[in-house]
A and B are shown apart, each in its own frame.
Chain A
Amino acid sequence: MATLATTVGLPRLLSALSGGEMVDLDRHLDAHGLLPSDRELDANGLLDLVERSGLRGRGGAAFPMATKLGAVRAARGPAIVVANGCESEPISAKDALLLHELPHLVLDGVELAARAVGAAEAIVAFETPNTAARMSLENALSERRAERIDSTRFSLFAAEERFLSGQETALVSQIDGGPPKPTFVPPRPTDRGVGRRPTLIQNVETLANLALVARYGAEWYRELGTDAETGSKLVTLAGAVENPGVYEIEFGTPLGALFAAAGGLSSELAGVLVGGYFGSWLPAAGVGALELSNEALGHHGAALGCGAVVALPARSCPVAETVRVAIYLATETAGQCGPCVHGTAAIARTLHGVAEGKASPTAFADLKRWAEELPGRGACHHPNGLAHFVSTALRTFKPQFADHARHGPCDGCAAEPVLTFPQPSPARP
């Protein structure tokens, strides 16, 4: 793990990192000092600060935090805060890093978020296999209790390790004892979430940012990033770089500078995946100049999402990589919505046929039609994400797909997978 030390003002979130160990309360306070008290910064002051900072959600959707805070404050009933540390995206490692090594920064953010919406209770959620997160959180909470730092009652929640586990309504469902499956909105969790209470769900990176905004102010916060996307972003860089890992960048940093911070590329590239498994494949040519902000990526039909970036080495086969992930995503459907169940399976099956050289004559036309018909027809964005991932692959790697359809697997198909994911457990609810 490293940070992008070449940018002035970075690292921010990762400044207190301590060689892979959990940053304890002493070290955390040495680095950042105490949180402003309720008297120094009350709920209205916090809301104003968040608004002026431009802080947006870091889980993927980049929703303005101030808007969400406002919605929870406007809803009736005792509010509750959920810190979402369910990484879900298999390539991403930033939420795990924050929970394991910087739990105090996250918990500071939770305490502040609870103050902003008047919540007395908060839940910190992570994925069940992430035992390092649980240990750090338990240690950090006991340190904080001894020093009476928080006025919020905290509890921990271990969610199932599923792709959709961290989806907001699926997380609410699990906390309430249900399956890890999204629900139809409205009602949104901000109105009716955990225990039917107004629920503020924020990604743990967003909350860690809040901990800094409250201490150093909105103007300081806006010194990094662009006008529309303020501050820094944690990105997980995987694939053909010398030092893969989590990096803290300023929004708008060129991809080439991120590669350089990671020790450079370790091979020629076949392409780059930006935004994780719901993200976009982009051609390798000229990709170094690509700026990592949603605004700049939007011109290429892409988004930063959770910040996972994969440099696919030239020895790998983009067709095989895409097909494996499409099959994984199809099996990760919650199984509730007909178009998603049937559509994602049809896309995965048809792509697999193409990769094996056994494509039907209508395979490419079918894939194009499904990718157009599917988005927006599920209760969550799962079908949208898969459709986008696959259509950017078909566009970026058109010759490779055509070649597989005619001749079957290539040499690269047998290469070790770069895009990995947990093997689905056989027993499913």
Chain B
Amino acid sequence: MTRLRVNPIGCVGHGLCAELLPEWIELDEWGYPIVDRESLPAGLEAHARRAADACPTLALLLQPD
């Protein structure tokens, strides 16, 4: 099982993650991600990995439970 975590020091709010994974990530009013802290469902893991890879500051992390 995997969870998503943001490195908030690295994140500058590009917002790509919320576009690529709207099921799990929304943006607050300043453009910073609010990530669901539950374990990712298996069907979303590949999408989550794509979102993490797309982050320009590599601030979106996939972590094993």
Contact = CB atoms under 8 A, between A and B. Distances in A.
B38 to A, nearest CB: 13
A338 B13 contact: yes
A373 B34 contact: yes
A183 interface: yes
B12 interface: yes
Nearest to A370: B28
Contact of B7 (A184, A339, A340, A376): A184
Contacts of B32: 338-339, 342, 377
7 contacts: A184-B7, A184-B9, A337-B9, A338-B8, A339-B30, A377-B34, A379-B9
Interface in B1-58: 6-13, 28, 30-32, 34, 37
The 9 closest A-B pairs by CB, nearest first: A337-B8, A338-B32, A342-B30, A336-B9, A339-B32, A184-B7, A379-B9, A184-B9, A338-B13
A378 interface: yes
Contacts of B11: 337-338
Contact of A184 (B10, B12, B30, B37): B10
Q: Which of B8, B28, B30, B31 has the most CB of A within 10 A?
A: B8
Interface of B: 6-13, 28, 30-32, 34, 37
A384 B37 CA distance: 16
Chain A at the B interface: SS class:
loop
Interface in A311-352: 336-340, 342-343
Interface of A: 183-184, 336-340, 342-343, 373, 376-379
B12 A338 contact: yes
Contact of A183 (B9, B13, B30, B34): B9
B8 A379 contact: yes
A14 to B, nearest CB: 40
A222 B27 CA distance: 49
B37 A376 contact: yes
B34 A338 contact: no
B18 to A, nearest CB: 13
Contacts of A376: 37
A376 B7 CA distance: 11
Contacts of B8: 184, 336-340, 377-379
B13 to A, nearest CB: 5
B29 to A, nearest CB: 8
A373 B36 CA distance: 11
Nearest to A340: B8
A418 B12 CA distance: 37
B22 to A, nearest CB: 17
Contacts of B12: 338
A343 B32 CA distance: 10
Nearest to B35: A377
A338 B34 CA distance: 11
Contacts of B13: 338
Given A339-B30, A342-B30, A342-B32, A377 B6 contact: yes
Contacts of A342: 28, 30, 32
Contacts of A183: 9
A377 B27 CA distance: 12
A339 B28 contact: yes
